[in-house]
Structures are given as structure tokens and as C-alpha cells.
Structure 1
Amino acid sequence: MIIVTTENIAGYKIKEVKGACYGLVVRSRGFAGQVTASLRSLIGGEIKEYTEMLEDARKQAIDRLIKNAHAMGANAVIMFRYDSGEIGQNMSEIVAYGTAVVIEKAE
């Protein structure tokens, strides 16, 4: 699956637009991770527990985006983006989204 942030893919032409597709993940840091992160925030610097959680969530969101695009019959996603937000005090939402398309090599 080709995934790009651009409107077009060099060397390919868009044969069909399938529509919007997305992959959504909501994650919560476990109690031990929250305590460690809270202590680390007092010192300052990177809070690795949350960085790792968000990296994992982004990977999972992309995997779900790809699964969604395949289910729509697409072989590529254009205009790819991420968005994130918080739900409550300890949950993060990550969404990967774009436009599912069918592409073929340009002649």
C-alpha cells in the first residue's frame, strides 16, 4: 500500500477515488506508567512513557488505515494526515486519515 501526504503519486495515475478512509486508536497509559511519567515530569525533559505510547498508537492507526483502505478496494492512500486529541485526563486519541484510491502505473 502506497501512502503519501500529497495529492498525486509520481509515476502513477489515479484510476478511481474510493473515498475517505481512516484508522482510529484510543490509548490509555497504565497506572504504573502514569506514576513514572508524573515523577519524570517533575524533573523535566522527555517523558519516554508517553512518547512510546503515542508512537505505538500512530503505528496501530496506520495499520487500521491500511486495513480500511484495502476493505474499500484501494491500493493507495493520498492526502495522508494524522490528528490527535485527549479524552479525559489519561487517554489519547490518534487518527490516521486520507483518501483511498486505486492507482496504476502511468504510461
Structure 2
Amino acid sequence: MSRVILSTTEFIYGKVIVKHLGLVRGTSIRTRHIGHDIMARLRGLVGGEIHEYTKLLAESREQVLDRIMQDARELGGNAIVGLQFSTSQIAHGAAELMVYGTAVFVEDAQDLTED
């Protein structure tokens, strides 16, 4: 599987965007687990990090990043610029995590000057 460069900025240092390919996105809708909710409420009483939710969000982020990179590859891209995350509540206990950006094809800056 080819590597896709991810950037929250509109450029990638040392690279030149040679083609814009369009909007790409990755989404996941997750619900909470009753067992995790019980543990989270107990942790809420004593304070501290809620590890169950931290793990759930980390897994969700990895999943949407995998999806957006696949979307970019299908368009012929090797990078995504302007990467942003968004969340929204779909229903009680269910939330959407979305990542979006612009798929581009980049080349090394020095490769273009050698021609």
C-alpha cells in the first residue's frame, strides 16, 4: 500500500503540489459500550483520565485516517493537505468522527528543478 502524506497545512515542506484531486473524507460513527460507560462514571467520581474513551477515540481516529488515505489513493493522490477533524452527535450515545481534506499529488521540490 502506498504511503500518503498527511498535512494540516495547505503545503508540505520540500514538496510541490503538481495536481489537486479534490475533496476526500473518512467517517466513522461509534456508539459507547455499556461496560465502558460504567467504568467512565466510576472514574468520573474519583477523577482522572477515562482510558476507555481515550482508547475508543484513538481507534476511531485511526479508522477515519485509514479511510481518507484510501479515498486519496483511489483518486491517484499521494498526499492530503488541509486535513481537519470534525465531530458531531448523531443520537444519544452515538457520535460521528469525520476527517476531511484535499487530495493532491506531490513531488519532491528538487525533482522539478532538475528537468
TM over 0.5: yes
Is 1:16 aligned with 2:19? Answer: yes
Counterpart in the other structure of 1:46: 49
Partner-residue secondary structure (3-state), 2:10? coil
RMSD: 1.2
Partner-residue secondary structure (3-state), 1:65? helix
Q: Look at both structures and tell me which one has the larger radius of gyration over its CA atoms.
A: 2
- Cα displacement (A) at 1:45: 2.2
% same residue: 37
Quick one: distance in 1 between partners of 2:90 and 2:38? 19
- Cα displacement (A) at 1:18: 0.5
List runs of 5+ in structure 1 lacking aligned partners.
none
Counterpart in the other structure of 1:98: 101
1:10-51, CA deviations, whole angstroms, 9 ceiling, x for partnerless residues? 121111101110110111122211121122222222211111
Q: Which amino acid aligns with 1:41?
A: G
Partner-residue secondary structure (3-state), 1:59? helix
4+ residue stretches of structure 1 with deviation over 3 A? none
Q: Which amino acid aligns with 1:54?
A: L
Q: Which amino acid aligns with 1:85?
A: S
Partner-residue secondary structure (3-state), 1:57? helix
Counterpart in the other structure of 1:26: 29
Counterpart in the other structure of 2:76: 73
TM, length-normalised to structure 2? 0.86
- Cα displacement (A) at 1:77: 0.3
Count, aligned residues: 107
